[in-house]
Chain A
């Protein structure tokens, strides 16, 4: 680099170039100034009248939101034409008088309307007084139009979910945009009062579904009637989203789950495509499509059963005996035990000064029998022998304690307890009893149904941890595919083929002759593992079934969780059997 002073000759040349640059820049500025002068001084009056003319109005044209369809193209969310009563604040002289006259024609919350008018940022833009006006109200309003100066009736696309409560958690619902969401979008695309996705697919893929607003500049007469359109820009409809969900399967699963709090997930164990994601209790997303009435909202949000919560990805439960799959894998891979080794189960085991119970005395059991009959005493000992570190390592490998990355908002990560976690959060040391408890999936451990779906899939597909996903493709209105999704393997669990064979054989026997016998049916052979979550004294236990079908060349993985089942009620395995036999019967 030349750091030294320039020779005078070079300096002069530089000087010359700088002068030319300066002249060029000044010419550019003068040119700009000339153009601005032409627009503002020469054409100023004309443009001023064009803009100042109060007879000009900008009518925003809302785009129609993209459709949500199932994998076969059946509609899950669409738009219906609906009418709204808007008010242009600048055209109204006496608001309370007008509102008084309006309430005679249609039910209107006066306080809320006044509140909205107060919040209105722009006196020239319509403020929505009421959405979802029915036909008889509409005709009344149109008949007496001159009694309501300043009001405008607009047609707008309203979100409509034809299947109501079906798959409501995963599809989601809309709601008025919040201040925070306004900020996240680039200015102008979304404005106050717009509706955006608040939950589920509607929220995650809002940007695609939204579309782009258009607008129409019209000239109006003194009564607000449109005289002519000055310029217009069409709205751009949103993209359509094809889900991986199969409407038929979803219906079957929800019917079988019935009125039972819980969740069902069915998917492809090789790719992670989700065919069914059900959660009960559910809600009707149509309620949110125009502003939801307060009493409805209170009912939903204060319900002790939390109908707004998507249990499939947010429900956290103990893994219970389904966790034994992971302990078995950890023990076999670390060669802690031989497959044929057996112990005697007397129905309980003393560790330290506490007695750990089993659900029955199993007698002489080996590893396979312990899995098939779900013997707790065997697994207390196996867990202690394997050691907490190795169990935790394998639980991590199976994807517990971390989110699965499914395309739904607010997924829980569950909890995988470790000695250091206990010391930090409970202030206590980890003791052998904690390990024993963890070995049967009880204690501090928490998992979500979608995490257990990955565990079941991993056993079915030979040890691959997959990323579950809900969207197959996104297609724009012209039919062009914008984005297409396919299965993604996140990691592979190092499982030997003999361990895998053993696990698959044992899970087959669980249904054939073990604790999962209720899942047995004539249509399809199911493999899986049951689990019963023991809760506090006096509370009914939760029931798990995780598995896949058919046992060989599995095409579906399934997770069923049912909360607080009564003794005489059907368990998760029975529901699984019924769901899968109906699905496979249909496919034949």
Chain B
């Protein structure tokens, strides 16, 4: 073990400016699709992005050893807030997702994702070869979190946590035979249900799992989102021209279906640029992962990269009609305090891994 930490690198300014550009673009987009009466959403998002930037720099000052030592604690706090939200959470027909602390309320399930990444990285980095036992423990950690968010219900977070787990044990170097047996076991559960179900029954189950979102007719939001996205064509309808979004045909245009409203306003060219920027974030993240000298650092940065990817893929896929409607925010672009700050925190942790070892 090396004693004493020294500052090795610099901030990854490319990464920083890319996320800043994305968040700024998101805010501008929010401005163009809201009416004067709804401008408060725009101002709030500005405040959250500003807070996020502050947290990013704050988090980047911590050493990687700090994250290692605090991993269990952070995970424990995440579970605690997830349990608390079930009892005291706000929400009526909608899910109980919000926890109030003083004036502010936040969604613990967003921050729990980071807690899960840290604790998994800590568990999986301890040994060279991952034993069944250790894998079982890491699975339990994932599963407890999955159940807690599924009760709320926050199906988005519940959906991505097993993928996060598989991604991280894969990165941690689990042998291919073990991975295949896990995937086999997981897959053998799925088709059992899939075989016997008709399409409309699957839809019913999805609506059942997530009743608050779309009580009558699951087709409404997906159809509207496809029309919205598709009508943007090559170059979009221009700034402020996203009529279909503005006329409220598109449900949840700032959050779940922000990708569709983006496509309407900025067209295929805009989507290409958006996905390109996300790819840069992921490539820079992978670079940080490669350069990290500890397996803990590698696994944490890997986990954050996977988290970004899952959010992007599922949110965009939802708008494009290839993913079920589960309600995951698009990183840094979707309106929402908890998710915006969480993604900034994730980048902050990436920075702390890059700069210190």
Point out residues on A near B: beta carbons under 8 Å: 1-6, 10, 13-15, 17-18, 20-22, 25-26, 28-29, 32-33, 35-37, 39-41, 43-48, 50-52, 58, 119, 121-122, 124-125, 179, 182-183, 186-188, 191-192, 207-208, 212, 214-215, 217, 231, 233-234, 236
Contact = CB atoms under 8 A, between A and B. Distances in A.
B37 A192 contact: yes
B170 A40 contact: no
B313 interface: yes
Given A4-B2, A33-B272, A44 B232 contact: yes
A47 B227 contact: yes
Contacts of B271: 33, 36, 40
Interface in B288-331: 289-290, 293-296, 298, 302, 305-306, 309, 312-313, 316-317, 320-322
Contacts of B252: 187-188
Interface string B140-152: 0000000000000
A124 B263 CA distance: 22
Contact of A18 (B128, B278, B286): B286
Nearest to B283: A22
A1 B263 contact: no
A2 B219 CA distance: 50
Instruction: Identify whether the interface residues of A are mostly helix, strand, loop, or mixed.
Output: helix
A45 B217 CA distance: 26
Contacts of A236: 215-216
Contacts of A26: 279
Which 9 A-B pairs have CB atoms at the shortest separation, nearest pair first? A47-B230, A121-B35, A44-B233, A51-B231, A39-B230, A51-B244, A207-B92, A47-B231, A48-B231
Contacts of B167: 21
Interface centre among A17, A36, A41, A125 (most CB of B within 10 A): A36
Contacts of B173: 10, 13-14, 17
A45 B94 CA distance: 36
Contact of B320 (A6, A35, A45, A217): A35
A217 B250 CA distance: 12
A40 B126 contact: no
A208 B220 contact: no
Interface centre among B37, B173, B226, B253 (most CB of A within 10 A): B37
A25 B279 CA distance: 9
B74 interface: no
Interface of B: 1-2, 35-38, 40-41, 65, 68, 92-94, 122, 125-126, 128, 167, 170-171, 173, 215-217, 219-220, 223, 226-234, 243-244, 246-249, 251-255, 263-264, 267-268, 271-272, 275, 278-279, 282-283, 286, 289-290, 293-296, 298, 302, 305-306, 309, 312-313, 316-317, 320-322, 335
A35 B252 CA distance: 21
12 contacts: A3-B294, A18-B286, A18-B289, A20-B170, A21-B302, A25-B309, A47-B230, A48-B230, A51-B231, A58-B248, A182-B40, A186-B94
B168 to A, nearest CB: 10
Nearest to A7: B128
Given A4-B1, A25-B305, A125-B248, 18 more contacts: A1-B294, A3-B65, A4-B2, A14-B173, A21-B302, A22-B286, A28-B309, A32-B312, A44-B232, A47-B229, A48-B231, A50-B227, A51-B244, A58-B247, A122-B248, A179-B40, A187-B252, A192-B37
Given A17-B173, A21-B286, A44 B234 contact: yes
B296 A3 contact: yes
A17 B286 CA distance: 11
B322 A41 contact: no
A151 to B, nearest CB: 19
Contacts of A5: 293
Interface centre among B217, B295, B313, B321 (most CB of A within 10 A): B295
A46 B223 CA distance: 13
Contacts of B228: 51
A179 B37 contact: yes
Given A22-B286, A47-B227, A32 B320 contact: yes
Nearest to A211: B93
Contacts of B279: 26, 29
Contact of B37 (A15, A32, A121, A217): A121
A195 B158 CA distance: 36
A14 B322 CA distance: 31
A14 B295 contact: yes
A46 B290 contact: no
Contacts of A20: 170
Contact of B316 (A3, A15, A32): A32
B247 A10 contact: no
Interface centre among A32, A214, A233 (most CB of B within 10 A): A32
A5 B357 CA distance: 10
A51 B249 contact: yes
B28 to A, nearest CB: 18
A215 B317 CA distance: 25
Contacts of A233: 216-217, 220
Contacts of B247: 58, 122, 124-125
Contact of A217 (B94, B126, B170, B249): B249
Contacts of B305: 21, 25
B320 A1 contact: no
Contacts of A121: 35-38
B120 to A, nearest CB: 13
A18 B272 contact: no
A7 to B, nearest CB: 8
A1 B293 CA distance: 12
A154 B6 CA distance: 71
A40 B282 contact: no
Nearest to A48: B231
A122 B227 contact: no
B296 A122 contact: no
A3 B35 contact: no
A40 B41 contact: no
Nearest to B276: A29
Nearest to A10: B128
A44 B289 CA distance: 39
Interface centre among B173, B227, B243 (most CB of A within 10 A): B227
A22 B286 CA distance: 8
A39 B220 contact: no
Contacts of A37: 268
A2 B217 contact: no
Contacts of B68: 1
B126 A52 contact: no
A18 B290 contact: yes
B299 to A, nearest CB: 9
A207 B91 CA distance: 9
Contact of B295 (A6, A47, A119): A6
A317 B305 CA distance: 63
Contacts of B35: 121-122
A14 B227 contact: no
B254 A187 contact: yes
A297 B251 CA distance: 36
Contacts of A41: 233-234, 268
A22 B287 CA distance: 11
A25 B298 contact: no
B194 to A, nearest CB: 21
Nearest to B309: A25
A580 B290 CA distance: 82
Contact of A51 (B65, B215, B243, B322): B243
B56 to A, nearest CB: 22
A1 B317 CA distance: 37
A1 B125 contact: yes
